[in-house]
Amino acid sequence: LAASILVLFHRLPAVSSRNIEKIVTKVLEIEQALLIEAGSPLREPLLKFLIQFPSETLGVFMSTSHGGMEQWCRYLEYVVRHPLSDSIRDELENCGDRLYYMLTDACPNFATSHRDQLHFFALRLVLLITRNNSTWLGRQDNLLLTIRNLWNSEEFHKTHHKCDSVEYSHWKIPRMVVSILLSYFKSNPNDISLLFELMKAFIGRFIPEFQFLREFLGETVAKSYSPEWKRQAFSDFVLLFEDVSVEQELKANILQYIIIPSFSASFERGEGDLLISNMPTPDIESPNNIVSVFINRVMNPDD
């Protein structure tokens, strides 16, 4: 019965956006009372109603009162992933600032008890948007910088290396962050330092696996990136190698996961000369010859 009432809802002009909060609250209460969620018969009728009011819907779901509530988050994720929800997805792309506020605690009104969930939820939404639109994050400077800083903070790595300090449902956060940043990198492959930073995923013990990152490095970077890109990556690596503030393990990972596989793939394909030097005679020692750079600056850095 409740489902048929909802089916009617999106046909009734009198039911307006002002009722969104009440209706959603009611439906989620019913689901909770009946202990049904994924298979609930109310989900789709409610969705058909909500997609008519994308901005009001997102306003309610990302509001200070509901933004960090798990059941609301799960329902919105269902909506955002649904094939009928183009209107919501388009509107969500306009919410970059809102997502930024949610991630940076710039909304003091959010209950602190919901803070972790709010961060998780904001990252989840960013991930869903980037999966759908690979260029979107490149236009969200603040958001991108915040997520990148999060990944580069020691605190983040300390927290997520221990499963007892993170709620079970938040174990996926490192993988979500890497996935978001990698998707940005794929559209901005000249941001080599970002790819280097992502090699922190292989330091220590994160709970999630980063198989997709390994595959990207092995298949895409090593096998399809140009010799010019690889030369640039190498010279960026040499600079980073000489920076004593960068931890050894990160340097080792960049070498192991990016530089060596990339160079090996090029050598196998006979691109060796292009890679080694852009000079016409690659065997002459020159600062541009990466073999001599490697020997002089990486293997014998004290000379």
Q: Which residues lie near ligand NAG (CB under 6 A)?
A: 81, 83, 89, 93, 132-133, 135-136, 139
The total number of residues shown for the chain amounts to 303
H helix count then E strand count, the chain:
19, 0
CB closer to ligand NAG out of 81 and 162? 81
How many Å is the Cα radius of gyration of the chain? 24
Of 100, 95, 5, 15, the residue nearest 52 (C-alpha): 15
CB closer to ligand NAG out of 103 and 265? 103
Q: How far apart are CA 223 and CA 269, in angstroms?
A: 9
CB closer to ligand NAG out of 100 and 237? 100
The structure tokens listed for 22 are 């009440």
Residue 72 Cβ, how far from ligand NAG at the closest point, in Å? 19
Of 247, 233, 242, the residue nearest 196 (C-alpha): 233
Residue 122 Cβ, how far from ligand NAG at the closest point, in Å? 17
Q: How far apart are CA 220 and CA 216, in angstroms?
A: 5
Residue 137 Cβ, how far from ligand NAG at the closest point, in Å? 9
268 CA to centre of own chain:
33
81 CA to centre of own chain:
16
CB closer to ligand NAG out of 43 and 89? 89
CB closer to ligand NAG out of 117 and 130? 130
Residue 123 Cβ, how far from ligand NAG at the closest point, in Å? 18
CB closer to ligand NAG out of 95 and 201? 95
Please report how the helices 141-152 and 115-132 are oriented relative to each other, as an axis angle in degrees rounded to 10.
Answer: 120
Say whether 82 sits in a helix, a strand or coil.
coil
Residue 21 Cβ, how far from ligand NAG at the closest point, in Å? 25
On whether the CB atoms of residues 28 and 75 are closer than 8 A, the answer is yes
Residue 82 Cβ, how far from ligand NAG at the closest point, in Å? 7
